[in-house]
Amino acid sequence: MSDQNVRNAGFASSGIRGGSLASSMMSQEARASGGGVHSGGPTSTLQEMGARGSTHSSGFTSSGISGGSLASQMMSQEARSHGGGTPRGGTTSTVQSI
């Protein structure tokens, strides 16, 4: 995942840009969870990367998730909490797709 993709999606150091993919994700996630965006979810994870201005060493790469990385830890935790699989639309798959 490149820094440019995260910025292009609307995750910036100054916050989520209105009218962007990021704002749409945030709105959809908030509606699905009853009004809030959960810490550790797709929106907050990507916004953290956007605020830092760097996705380097996160482990989300164009060729997949790097073993032993933050991304692999997220994927493993998410799979455990969903009975062994990583759900479509979950944190790991959403962040990896961007």
Enumerate the domain spans of the chain.
Answer: 2-96
Greatest pairwise CA separation for the chain in angstroms:
37
Q: Report how far residue 2's alpha carbon sits from residue 30's, in angstroms, rounded to the nearest whole number.
A: 25
Tens-level pLDDT at each residue, the chain (98 residues): 577 888 888 988 899 999 998 998 899 888 888 888 888 777 888 888 888 877 767 788 878 888 888 888 888 888 887 788 888 877 788 878 87
pTM metric for this prediction: 0.66
CA-angle at 59, arms to 23 and 89, nearest 5°: 40
